[in-house]
Structure 1
């Protein structure tokens, strides 16, 4: 289990062992401590732990330290926090975290797994250093689908956690403001103006958002999360992204708004030049969780998380001036996130089977944008999962005129929230009625946003083929069948001349150059 810190061999460990625990780290470098099959041991050291790598397994031993942010000063506390580390991490990485094991014998001749224990360790599966996600990104080894899948998995994880009650919303604001001051104390004088701008932005946003913090806390948005979801605490394993190393030592750092957690990873992806993956992750997270109301605090938490990482990097830089540790990267990301933006609203237009959802999926990372789907939101309004089958007929069940008006009303509210918070919104719906399109054009205008219509077309024969194939697969949120298509063909109101001027038509039976399409849509902003 490679960790950020100093990697030492046996000789170095003997020379620089901890004076508070003379002999233990050196002794645990002996392969005989671990039983048969271990031939060599490497040590990775952090401020609060020793991690011993044996090739197959890793053993994390907490140092007997008491610091302002952590207290591991007694064996009872160290055992407790080993158990907490196991508990909080098994929620997201059960395949990595194997158990808490006793360390018996003597300090000079310790044995893993022997009782009675004079120390404890968290036993994990070791993984290659290049599996860590920041390193996978450097090698361009993180596919879009994996970022989206993590977004869906994290949303389900958050959704399954009990709400944390009694959160003092003023603490959220106070924590963010204190973080700026701590960062300021670590930055050189030439950064004074930038820090002042970040301080002013944070103070303004805290004042504006305080009632929203309170509303979200009351609604149960705070859960016991991972708490430290950045790229160095994620790894690539068996074709998916796995989160590990959750914060075990401070419950307050885990009991956070779920959007703060999602924002942490989205920010770090953006800071590492992968805004495309950030939007794949965020888009799927919001689609599965339905927490589009979180758009009101998303921008705040993106900046807050950038400045937290800037502060951590600045502390490391002060200890090792030879390395920037990412200070400039995170500071630049924070400043960029506070810059004013001109949002864009893109609505689709097209019959069932015309490829709207497929085209939108390709545009999420390229615009980039947050997408909202009518098929998903319609079912959410009726308490159904996206993949559930309602067996509603044309004009009945989920598809009555009233249900459709309610669906488009919900889509308009979400689009308004996204635009209001500077995000580009991509609304994936048929928009076959002129009044629906007009309503959304007004939403864009009220937010001083650009507006474009993505007009998707295909031949009737292809529409029918796609609808049959989709129904046969049974995996899509859409329930449109051939009867729905017939109804649409009879009742659809075509784009008028004014709408045509704001429309970009895409023949989805042809190859689409998505980068060029995204550029044309962005020009509408």
Structure 2
């Protein structure tokens, strides 16, 4: 079943280092040999619709690319490409440098340091051991990675709506191979219809993502099992340096593989969280990412992106389930996993798509922007933020802290009136396009709330005004935590928040505003919102 070199690499004698144990794992693309110190990853000689690596030269190229590209998010893990040779005595050997006389190169392998599986995110989730600040740190790391990433330079045809549409057409053709194996024909037709309708409605959004440089050279395979947390046992919190992400896509430069939407990169992990029954972590990640980026369209695309990610996993597991180079027990496991991923897609497409509008108000550091971003991601909604609008009015980069004099101008009462006016105008434009919208602003004054309440009640959409409440102690602790990072949009500090406390006009019973206690977890706040109406419950509780 296995090539001869696989048996050879299961022998301790072939390794340069002292080895006690060797574990063989495999994917549809690779054989992975794990010893006490190092891991050796060899590409399989296979051709699939999404990767061609049946030639040794192709496999060498992909090994070299794997080393280079994974240094971006796991610089200390990947070491070098080594050669697997058949020597003059017809024995297999590993060569780290030059080959010897009489050697014949049989394969190439990526050599990397062995990581502790106890530090793998999959293991940590199973043990219910996730550090309390994981979502925030993960977003900080990926945001920084995305900011530095190479931007896609292609046209609309190769990276906009047309490219997205053609990719989906091709993907759904491939999925037909799994009909009556891991998916029914009727479900596949429903999924195809959903995607076609979504693509048609959002043509302009896909082209805008390209125009606004949101298509980047991403990770491409941000699965839960590819994330490791070093040193997390030493503390209930981790740092950005503790987080490693391995195994990016190296085998294709095409759109939707290496070059992807930033949100599509994030969606692999959030889909994985939904799959592994951790939707609250998915919500936290989305909330932090939207609050940090101010990304208006992330939420609109997020469910669609998760559907595509789940479809890819269903396809890949289905391919493995049919492979004749994988043992029967493993094939059975892959088949079951493929079915589960298809059922996850079914669950996604059944989420009600009726448009609505939600307003989220609250003091700075109450968690309102993170909460609003998470809501937008579950609702499939656009996100409009007063902080983003205010900074754009003054041509200030959203992550730049302006000088004291500019800050005073930005936050005077006349400017705030203009900000709230622009906020509603932007929301109105999105609502006219039949998008759900989440509006994020402080709403400290009754006059601001009254104008907005009137605006949403006059719309034809279901609407809800939420006030995110948090105690002063909780707010103060959150704003102190903010000062440790420069990655933020809000300029609020303790002084500004104290001014907010003084100027706040309390909400009265006649204002038709739902008070949500946000002192605890986001999941707790989501559950409170879900009790407001069945529509909200069906949309946000996964």
Matched, 1:332 2:343: yes
Residue number in structure 1 paired with 2:510? 498
Gaps of 5+ in 2: 233-241, 534-542
Give the structure 1 partner of residue 280 of structure 2. 276
Q: Deviation per CA, 1:381-414: give whole Å up to 9, x if none.
A: 64346573632488x2321345424544565547
Tell me the residue number matched to 2:126.
138
Q: TM-score, normalised by structure 2?
A: 0.77
Output the aligned Cα RMSD.
4.0
Query: Could you tell me which residue of structure 2 aligns to residue 218 of structure 1?
Result: 211
* Alignment check: 8 A CA contact 1:103 1:114 kept: no
Aligned residue among 259, 265, 275 for 1:255: 259
Query: Residue deviations 1:131-171, cap 9 Å, x none?
Result: 44333322223345212321222122112123212242322
Does residue 1:174 correspond to 2:186, yes or no?
no
Aligned 8 A contact 2:70 2:246 in 1: yes
Tell me if structure 2 keeps the 8 A contact 1:62–1:78: yes
Summarize the alignment of residues 441-480 of structure 1 with structure 2, pairs less than 5 Å apart: 442-443=455-456, 446=459, 448-454=461-467, 456=469, 466=476, 470=480, 477-480=490-493
> What does 1:261-300 align with in structure 2 at a 5 Å threshold?
261-300=265-304
1:202 positional shift? 1.1
For the 8 Å contact 1:147–1:241, the answer to whether it is kept is no
Contact map agreement 2:287 2:370 (CA 8 A) in 1: no
Q: Distance in 2 between matches of 1:266 and 1:90?
A: 23
- Spell out, residue by residue over 1:48-74, the C-alpha distance to the aligned partner (whole angstroms, 9 max, x if none): 333222211111223444554434344
| Paired positions, count | 493
The superposition leaves residues 393-443 of structure 1 with CA deviations (integer Å, 9 ceiling, x where unpaired) of 88x232134542454456554798699888784735243252355326624
Task: Choose 512-521 or 316-325, whichever is displaced more.
Answer: 512-521
Task: Give the 3-state SS of the residue equivalent to 2:111 in structure 1.
Answer: strand
Change in Cα spacing, 1:63 to 1:520, as seen in structure 2 (3 Å) is: closer
2:72 aligned partner: 91
What do residues 290-335 of structure 1 show as CA deviations (whole Å, max 9, x unaligned)? 3222333223222222222222233334455633442333222212
Deviation readout 1:206-241 (Å, 9 max, x if unpaired): 222223222222332211111122223333333354
* Residue 158 of structure 1: aligned partner: 146
Consecutive unaligned residues of structure 1, counting only runs of 5 or more, are 1-15
Contact 1:287 1:372 in 2 (8 A): no
Cα gap change, 1:503 to 1:287, in 2 (>3 Å): closer
Native 8 Å contact 2:284 2:522 kept in 1: no
Question: Are 2:96 and 1:113 aligned?
Answer: yes
Indicate the SS of the match to 2:248.
coil
* Counterpart selection for 1:348 from 332, 353, 361: 361
Is 2:531 aligned against 1:523?
yes
Contact 1:225 1:255 in 2 (8 A): yes
Contact 1:131 1:236 in 2 (8 A): yes
Tell me the CA shift for residue 254 of structure 1: 0.9
Q: Distance in 1 between matches of 2:185 and 2:123?
A: 32
SS of alignment partner, residue 184 of structure 2 = helix
1:404 is matched with 416
- C-alpha distance in 2 between matches for 1:92 and 1:276: 25
Q: 2 CA distance for matches of 1:374 and 1:293?
A: 16
Q: What is the rounded CA distance, in whole Å, between the counterparts of 2:21 and 2:432 in structure 1?
A: 56
* Match in the other structure for 1:209: 202
Distance in 2 separating the partners of 1:312 and 1:148:
30
Superposition deviation, residue 471 in structure 1: 11
Q: Which has the higher mean CA deviation after the structures are superposed, 179-188 or 65-74?
A: 65-74
CA gap of 1:57–1:405, structure 2 versus 1, over 3 A, is: farther
Say if 1:221 and 1:482 are closer, same or farther in 2 by CA, change over 3 A.
Answer: closer
Task: Give the TM-score of the pair, scaled to structure 1.
Answer: 0.79
What is the distance in 1 between the residues matched to 2:208 and 2:373?
29
The correspondence for 1:438, drawn from 451, 456, 468, is 451
Alpha-carbon spacing, 1:518–1:228, altered in 2? closer, same or farther (3 Å): closer
* CA pair 380-313 structure 1, distance change in 2 beyond 3 A: farther
Matches within 5 A, 1:477-488: 477-480=490-493, 482=495, 485=498
